[in-house]
Structure 1
Amino acid sequence: MRELVVLGTSSQVPTRTRNHNGYFLRWDGQGLLLDPGEGTQRQMIHAGVATSKVDRICLTHVHGDHCFGLPGVLSRMAVDGVEHHVHLHYPASGEEVVRALVAVAGGGVDLRLHPHGAAGQVADDLEVVALEHRVETYGYRLTEPDGQTMLPDRLAAVGLSGPDVGRLQREGRFGDVRLADVSVPRPGQRFAFVMDTAQCSGAEELAQDADLLVTECTFADEDHELATAYRHLTAGQAGALAGAGGARTLVLTHFSSRYPDVAVLADQARARAGTAEVTAAADLDRFALPPRRRPGAGS
């Protein structure tokens, strides 16, 4: 299963209807908890997300609405008896803050710390890209390796079946038959996570060809001066990221509490999002990754 569970959608301060940030990504056999703001462990209960399903915790930066829920989550993991390694990824400049938050949790979890100070791969298929905010900030992208889709009619035509197909896939050739003769390329799926940032090349890179793009949408277009001052995105800028990058599904979140109704933000993003499907997330929403791109198709 590949699914995003939205645990919270508010920036800076929670509201009566929106908790601080928090996102849980189910990706096959692993679970990633992204930017757990205050109250995340309670939101996990409401969403039915067990702490035992969390394998990695990823912080974009160490502003409180993106990390103050970390001690509670770790404490709950200890109470729940989580035994597996839990990997914590975060910007290296936030080391002091992260260690303080971990210390508050009191131990009991086999936690592995992974600070990063530059763009690049931080785990299998998981990479970080630098963003532009008021502190060191990185977005995350999880990418499935490209593969091949086997074509049954071509396999039948060359008389291949069963274990011979597996050998062809592993070795690229079986006798005179090449893998390319009986298959077409299958693009891997991509999940991208863009939080607090001004417009920048890093955000554009993350959005490129994303099947599911989650991005901050802190301000309405008419409040662009505030967005510039605080180094955040407006709704239109968030939509433009998806449009320019060819993202398929755009999930907007991290809304300022000044907007009790975020429908207008979704409209502003949608106007610049190209063919992307745009949704303003609410707490506890769930988003499945869209079906795979058709082999050989651009969308």
Structure 2
Amino acid sequence: MSMRELAVLGTASQAPTRQRNHNGYLLRWDDEVLLFDPGEGSQRQMLHTGISATDLTRICVTHFHGDHCLGLPGMIQRLSLDRVPHPVAVHFPAGGADYFARLRHASSFYETAELAVEPIEADGQRITLGIGTLEARRLRHPIETYGYRLVEPDGCRMLPEKLSAYGIAGPAVGQLLRDGHLDLDGRRVTRDEVSVTRPGQRFAFVMDTGLCDGVWALAEHADLLVIESTFLESEAALAAEVGHLTAGQAARVAAESGVRTLVLTHFSQRYADPRRFADEAREHFTGELVIAEDLMTVQVPPRRVASAG
């Protein structure tokens, strides 16, 4: 049985608080388990999620500011300690290759795990996975930064009543799916005639950035959008200066991009009451809103309703 859910390891920004650990986000998507931006303490936070280092298939780093990457040394060493039997891919901005090399070998350890190091070289770079496509988009921050989105290709759902009307059953259904058509009693029946489109699901991950084209491209039609909202609108000028978003900006992006579930995170330590982020976001976004808390789990929403082919 497939499982698609997000486990939140940490929700702080530059400085952790008593309630909020540094960043860390685990996405379980069928057989893939992706770890995004492991900050300090991520390894310990994972103990509370039921997901182990052995489960990881991929690590994605948006940029090399400490709150997004200082958990990498421990995580990489844990892969070897647990003798993870499969390669684990690691993606990060290519311009930060020196930082990655230092973090990877930050201390002495016996390396047994296999890392597939695959840096992001360009805006719009796509990585093909068994579950779909992982796409990276350049964001606007003082150092090289990329956001990620996972896109599942559209499929189709066969309509039993249509199949029955044409007398199509058994192995013929599989042939119709594979070939896109079936010649039956002198008539060609196409797959579109007996099916509807099943929209693929989309997950987007947007961290430290000001508003830019990359934010919109990542958020477009996302079923689940995880996005930073470091500041409130009262500090919009500061947010723009340092390359961050406000809760209101993130919510407007979500509303205009057709996002279904919006997860706000990466909160500045200056704000003690998370309800302020929710209040601000609700001025713009009417869909499912989640103000992230450490160790919470968020389900990817059910598939969108299939549309006529």
For normalisation by structure 1, the TM-score amounts to: 0.97
Gaps of 5+ in 2: none
Aligned length: 296
Residue 177 of structure 1 deviates from its aligned partner by 1.3
Provide closer, same or farther for how the CA distance between residues 123 and 67 of structure 1 changes in structure 2, counting only shifts above 3 A. farther
Equivalent residue for 1:117? 121
- 2:153 maps to 1:145: yes
| Contact in 2 for aligned 1:146/1:187 (Cα 8 Å) | yes
Equivalent residue for 2:208? 196
Q: Deviations over 1:44-82 (max 9, x none)?
A: 001121111100000001111000001111111211111
Residue 164 of structure 1 deviates from its aligned partner by 1.3
Equivalent residue for 2:248? 236
Residue 196 of structure 1 deviates from its aligned partner by 0.3
| Contact in 2 for aligned 1:85/1:111 (Cα 8 Å) | yes
How well do the aligned residues superpose, as a CA RMSD in angstroms? 1.1
CA distance in structure 2 between the partners assigned to 1:144 and 1:279 by the alignment: 23
Query: What is the DSSP-based 3-state SS (H/G/I as helix, E as strand, rest coil) of the residue aligned with 2:218?
Result: helix
Greater Cα shift, 85-94 or 102-111: 102-111
CA distance in structure 1 between the partners assigned to 2:268 and 2:128 by the alignment: 32
Residue 187 of structure 1 deviates from its aligned partner by 1.1
Q: Deviations over 1:20-59 (max 9, x none)?
A: 0000000111110000000000000011211111000000
Residue 256 of structure 1 deviates from its aligned partner by 0.5
Query: What is the DSSP-based 3-state SS (H/G/I as helix, E as strand, rest coil) of the residue aligned with 2:92?
Result: strand
CA distance in structure 2 between the partners assigned to 1:158 and 1:222 by the alignment: 62
Matching of residues 40-79 of structure 1 within 5 Å = 40-79=42-81
Equivalent residue for 2:97? 95
Equivalent residue for 2:197? 185
Residue 247 of structure 1 deviates from its aligned partner by 0.3
Equivalent residue for 1:271? 283
- 2:18 maps to 1:24: no
| Contact in 2 for aligned 1:23/1:35 (Cα 8 Å) | yes
Residue 226 of structure 1 deviates from its aligned partner by 1.5
Aligned partner (choices 2, 15, 35) of residue 4 of structure 2: 2
Q: AA paired with 1:15? A: T
CA distance in structure 2 between the partners assigned to 1:20 and 1:87 by the alignment: 22
Q: Deviations over 1:70-114 (max 9, x none)?
A: 111111121111121010000011100001000126322201111
Matching of residues 279-298 of structure 1 within 5 Å = 279-296=290-307
Query: What is the DSSP-based 3-state SS (H/G/I as helix, E as strand, rest coil) of the residue aligned with 1:149?
Result: strand
Query: What is the DSSP-based 3-state SS (H/G/I as helix, E as strand, rest coil) of the residue aligned with 2:307?
Result: coil
Equivalent residue for 2:112? 108
CA distance in structure 2 between the partners assigned to 1:103 and 1:94 by the alignment: 15
CA distance in structure 1 between the partners assigned to 2:166 and 2:211 by the alignment: 52
| Contact in 2 for aligned 1:207/1:247 (Cα 8 Å) | yes
Equivalent residue for 1:174? 182
Structure 1's consecutive aligned runs of 4 or more residues displaced over 6 angstroms after TM superposition are none
Q: AA paired with 1:157? A: A
Residue 122 of structure 1 deviates from its aligned partner by 2.6
Equivalent residue for 1:253? 265
Gaps of 5+ in 1: none
Identical aligned residues as a percent? 53
| Contact in 2 for aligned 1:214/1:250 (Cα 8 Å) | yes
Q: AA paired with 2:159? A: L
Equivalent residue for 1:262? 274
Aligned partner (choices 173, 177, 184) of residue 165 of structure 1: 173
Residue 276 of structure 1 deviates from its aligned partner by 2.2
| Contact in 2 for aligned 1:246/1:276 (Cα 8 Å) | no
CA distance in structure 1 between the partners assigned to 2:128 and 2:236 by the alignment: 36
Q: AA paired with 2:127? A: V
For normalisation by structure 2, the TM-score amounts to: 0.94
Query: What is the DSSP-based 3-state SS (H/G/I as helix, E as strand, rest coil) of the residue aligned with 1:65?
Result: helix
- 2:129 maps to 1:136: no
